[in-house]
Amino acid sequence: MRDHTKLRKGLESTGGSFPGLPRVRHTGGSRYPTGPGWIPCQARNDGPVSSTGQACQARKDKQQARRTWMRRYRKQLVMFTLSSLLSVAACAVITVNVYFPEKDVKSAYKSLEEELLQPTPKKEKEAPGQSPTSSLRPGQQSMLAVIRTWRVTLVSEAMAQDDLSRRITQEIKGYPEVIAAYKGIGQRLARMNQLRDQGLVGEAKDGKAALRANPPQVGEAEAALLLEENGDREVIINGMAKAILKLTQQEATPANLTKVKTQAAETFASIRRDAAHPGWWVQIPNGTWGMRK
């Protein structure tokens, strides 16, 4: 009994700790784990608050201030986040919804090549003479008129379906730089075919001509020829992209032009693959090269 009294008096006089008595750990709250022999600081109200306890209180005050700030500006933060998401979604919709009429574009490419790359056939002059007289009976003539009307109707429907293709063709024929590019391709067509027959040049998936051999098989002359060829092809593809955006009434933004140009180049490349001779190098859309069979 006397020993315990001495220990208690010593603790009260010195404010220290002695072996055998519980140690005090200032943790700032019961949410911090305590080990054996430790008492949370909130469990002792009879001693002075340590620097650790002050740090715990400061941390609590900081967390409370943060929660108050979040409650105060919660509405503004939500509105800002929603507006940002809507802006990103709007941009994505504009990019995805660019219209590209692939079938009409391919038909327009073929029409332009048939007209600008192939020689124009000469029409034979018909000798003047008397207009032929019909030997059909009235009933046969009536049936013939019905057949002609039916044919005209079918032709009109076909022309309506092919209207966009014809309008694209007419629009591009109004671009002088594209006409000059087609003429340039026509002038070097024979030489390019020789290089393709020899396996030195192939048709790439981006609509350009690509070398399939290295020096000394190809020299500076062949490289210069290929550079001119690809320059003219670039002009044609650019003209096609601009015509599509104009005739489909789409905004000619840089993003739209880039997307349509990429698709126009792929369509141009598909025509080159279809027109390739057996033994020519061609590159399919996945990037694989092979010889046309």
Mean pLDDT by 10 residues, the chain (293 residues): 57 53 49 50 48 74 79 73 71 63 95 80 49 51 52 46 88 96 96 95 96 84 95 98 95 94 97 96 96 92
Sheet bearing 201-203, strands edge to edge: 209-211, 201-203, 281-283, 289-291
Give the pLDDT score at 152: 44
Give the pLDDT score at 273: 96
Give the pLDDT score at 256: 95
DSSP 130: P
Q: What whole-number distance in Å separates Cα of residue 121 and Cα of residue 226?
A: 29
Q: Per-residue b/e over 152-177, b at no fewer than 16 CB within 10 Å?
A: eeeeeeeeeebebbeebbebbbebee
Torsion of the alpha carbons at 211, 215, 216 and 217, rounded to the nearest 10: -10
Give the pLDDT score at 41: 47
Give the pLDDT score at 13: 59
Verdict on whether the full-model pTM lies above 0.85: no
Task: Phi first, then psi: give them for residue 20, nearest 5 degrees.
Answer: 95, -15
Where would I find the beta strands (DSSP E) of the chain?
Answer: 23-25, 38-40, 201-203, 209-211, 281-283, 289-291
Q: Are 240 and 265 in contact (CB under 8 A)?
A: no
Q: What whole-number distance in Å separates Cα of residue 267 and Cα of residue 21?
A: 88
154 vs 14, 149, 150, 160, 235, CA distance in Å? 113, 9, 6, 10, 36
Q: What whole-number distance in Å separates Cα of residue 280 and Cα of residue 292?
A: 5
Q: Which residue has the tokens 């391919």?
A: 106
- Determine how many CB atoms are found less than 10 A away from the CB of residue 79: 10
Q: What whole-number distance in Å separates Cα of residue 156 and Cα of residue 163?
A: 10
Domain positions in the chain are 2-67, 102-117+142-291
